[in-house]
Structure 1
Amino acid sequence: MSPLSRRGATVRFCGLLCSTLWFTSSPAHAQGNPGASGMPIKVAMVESLSGSFANAGEAVFRNIAWAVERVNERGGVALPASEGGTRRLQLLRYDSKGQNEEALSALRAAIDDGARIILQGNSSATAAVLIEAINKHNQRDPGRRVVFLNYSAVDPILTNEKCSFWHFRFDAHADMRMAALMEVMRENRALSRVYLIGQDYSFGQAVLREAREQLARQRPDVAIVGEELHPVGRIKDFAPYAVKIKASGAQAVVTGNWGNDLTLLVKAAREVGYEGTFYTFYGNALGAPAALGDAGVGKVVAVADWLPNLPTAASERFYQSFRERFPRPQDDYVHMRMQLLIEALAQALERAGSTDALAVARALEQAEVSLAGQRGRMRASDHQFQQQLVVGVMERLGSPGVRFDVEGSGYGFRVVRQIPAERAEMPTTCQMQRP
């Protein structure tokens, strides 16, 4: 199969936004702007853009596209004349269809199409497969080496035992997120019984494992009354799981579920009359607040790198600018870390003075960026980004601390805990092998 036909199988275009992005990133437009003289730098997003998690993939694309637009609007990336001078970023998208083999095919197509920066995140299993493939590719084909920037795959193993010089994670890993949730759980002295449920793959297993370990250390008085792993993206009716949760007498559920697997779970819990608290990694988006409605008020806790109701003027301006760019309520899914990822990439390209993957990776190890009051730095020892984490509780729009709701649902998240980067940081077991 030719590179062109592979691209036809893996790229899914996206209407107005994608057309706008291709126009602002095109060589012809760049040449018409005195601030951008060289060919665009191709950045390839490999993600599920169809199937059970298409909504999550499209939501990520909006974030990355907006961040790329911001770089291009200020003129692009300043490189030496030998590297084409000032160049814009061009965001390409490849549909992995939620399958690892499709992700590998998309990776090959992206490399053939000239991309040397690969983005992915929605699945730690896919991230692990891509890391292995990129390691091998970069060793066998040094003239076409690529760098992998990960915005959401949070299995701790990816920056520990499976750490790679070519992989950089911009999200807090599962153990860091669990520790942040545990700070809030520790204060709930009425809590005595919890139920653990997650998706049956590396990330979901890591979340449950860390929940057990941290509860044993920090809340030994809390009993785990149920523990379950379910197939990823294949359950359409979570009612049987919700019934078991309710019957267990659990006062709280701890879950790393994301996308439709979270939305359908919380909806089923509401429908069977479960009244406990949900401690979640991703309960603040993609339909979960609307699915719970009033039943979730004060009972859904979410951890994130940033939340829209963070009480600072810079954060408020940042969020309002996103809403202006994407005014439809259903498009309200914004993550600061994805913005910082693109800022770090632009910084690294300029610091390296080159698009060569080795030079860019070395520059990324030194990345330190800030946006709208949120700061982050890349830890060179394992390529785990270090940034503050926040924990929020779901409340009605307009209640104290909730100026902004989620996806037009009428519910938002009040920030109850801010955890500085130095406290969120955790040790690593990575033994980095550098070229």
Structure 2
Amino acid sequence: MKLALSLRPVALASLLLAGGAALAQPATYKIAYIDPLSGPFANVGELMLAHTRYAIDDINARGGLPGGQKMQLLQFDSKLSAQESQSALQAAIDQGARAIVTGGSGSSVVAALVQAVNRWNERNPGKELLVLNHSSIDPDLTGKSCSFWHFQTDANTAMKMKAIANYIKKTPDVKKVYLLNQDYAHGKQWASYGRQMVGLARPDVQFVGEALHPIGRVKDFSPYLANIKQSGADSVITGNWGQDMTLLLKAAGDAGYNLRYFNHSAGSVPGTVLAVSQARMGQLTWVAEWHPGQADVPKVDALAKAYKAKTQKDFLAPRIEMTPRILAAAIVKAGSTDASKIAKAMEDLTFESVVGPVRMRAEDHQLLLPQVVNTIAPVDGKAVKVGWEGTTYGFRTDAVYTGNELAQGTECKMVRPAQ
């Protein structure tokens, strides 16, 4: 006690400052991953989780956020359910999450998650959360249902369909089209935009049939294929993903139907190339920001190689891996981990991604990024040089469009918090 009392004021102040600095070591910035990790689409959820975790680990290895703060990833199983996702959201809040990364749960589930975050943020000023959505591409999420707290890091349905319609415009052998889609918001939108945009690009195309099926519950697509064959269709516009895409391909191969398929992201899901190779017929054309084996993208090639070395898994989706990096860039720009300041910093943020510069449009929080139309096809040593998933099938680049070329108007009337 006597020693403590004998300390000079300057020395005591220094001691108190040192103690305060020790207590003020930056806490982790917690990010909650909420997507399906069980059920028929678990392989999709695990893929997206691995890409997200890789980016966060790399950000932390490079020093983390300003002040040395590290990102921490919390993971939750949405079970492809709006109710389960909202329960996961509450658990994430209870564990101190400041941002949500999601996308593969289906647009209706993600919409419910955004609405729940809106309610939480309104009732809990100073404790707001952000939602970064990398794969649920409903245009309403950046349109009439836009939210200041939600950011879309993939091209939306309308942008992707515009790319496909532009390609079909130059593909005269597409003449009769059948619309087969999952019976939920995204499937219905994919069909609607397909009919509108392909019809506008190619008025001569005939739409010869349309059907919706339960998502994740069809085990045998042969009855649907029989209807497609009866319609005389040569092509199918389908928004199916995961198991619903691979089982459709299998049924078509078993039935000997040589169809063309136009899809949004099928090739970035494990098992799709294998399913095409086993069917040995049909052409699956899809659109994304990149495809494996794409030429003249050295930054993605380097990232894919590093990812494979660390995870022993194939790299498939730059947009998912870049999502935490965009968040980190906005935190640096904001100089804060306050959600409102981060959101404002992310608006009109230009980010140098591995697929080139991308920009987060301020008016609706839609990321403008390139889209590549490509087809899963046999290796020929020219257009397709590398096989995938242990097969002799890979990806052929058909067309490349910039985000600005595909950008759509928006119905968004953004409501921002008061300054």
Q: TM-score, normalised by structure 2?
A: 0.90
For the Cα contact (< 8 Å) 2:216–2:243, is it kept in 1? yes
Measured on the aligned residues, the alpha-carbon RMSD in Å equals 1.7
Matches of 2:100 and 2:123, distance apart in 1: 17
Partner of 1:31: none
Structure 2 residues without counterparts, runs of 5 or longer: 1-23
Matches of 2:113 and 2:46, distance apart in 1: 20
Q: Quick one: which of 355, 372, 394 aligns to 1:390? A: 372
Partner of 1:310: 294
Partner of 1:369: 351
Partner of 1:288: 272
Find the residue that maps to 1:116 and give its secondary structure. strand
Q: Quick one: which of 241, 254, 259 aligns to 2:224? A: 241
Q: Quick one: which of 214, 219, 228 aligns to 1:231? A: 214
Matches of 2:58 and 2:385, distance apart in 1: 25
Partner of 2:50: 62
Matches of 1:322 and 1:400, distance apart in 2: 26
Percent identity for Structure 1 against Structure 2: 39
Q: Displacement, 1:262? A: 0.9
1:395 counterpart letter in structure 2: A
Residue deviations 1:291-315 (CA, integer Å, cap 9, x gap):
1216556711110011122211333
Residue deviations 1:387-417 (CA, integer Å, cap 9, x gap):
1100111122453233443333332111111
Partner of 2:188: 205
Q: Quick one: which of 195, 212, 222 aligns to 2:178? A: 195
Partner of 2:30: 42
| Aligned: 1:255 with 2:238 | yes
Partner of 1:217: 200
Q: Quick one: structure 1 residues 294 and 401, their matched pair in 2 at CA, closer, same or farther if it must change by over 3 Å?
A: farther
2:294 counterpart letter in structure 1: L
Aligned residue pair count: 391
Q: Displacement, 1:216? A: 2.2
| Aligned: 1:323 with 2:314 | no
For the Cα contact (< 8 Å) 1:197–1:255, is it kept in 2? yes
Q: Quick one: which of 76, 81, 84 aligns to 1:102? A: 84
The aligned runs of 1:408-427 (5 Å cut-off) are 408-427=390-409
Larger-gyration structure (1/2): 2
Partner of 1:359: 341
Matches of 1:381 and 1:354, distance apart in 2: 22
The aligned runs of 1:27-38 (5 Å cut-off) are 38=26
Partner of 1:301: 285
Q: Displacement, 1:372? A: 2.7
Partner of 1:407: 389
2:295 counterpart letter in structure 1: P
For the Cα contact (< 8 Å) 2:259–2:281, is it kept in 1? no
Partner of 1:433: 415
Find the residue that maps to 1:143 and give its secondary structure. coil
Partner of 2:10: none
Matches of 1:134 and 1:62, distance apart in 2: 24
Q: Quick one: which of 105, 120, 129 aligns to 1:137? A: 120
Structure 1 residues without counterparts, runs of 5 or longer: 1-35, 79-84
Matches of 1:167 and 1:343, distance apart in 2: 16
Q: Displacement, 1:367? A: 2.0
Q: Displacement, 1:253? A: 0.7
For the Cα contact (< 8 Å) 1:297–1:396, is it kept in 2? no
Q: Displacement, 1:362? A: 0.9
| Aligned: 1:73 with 2:58 | no
Find the residue that maps to 1:42 and give its secondary structure. strand
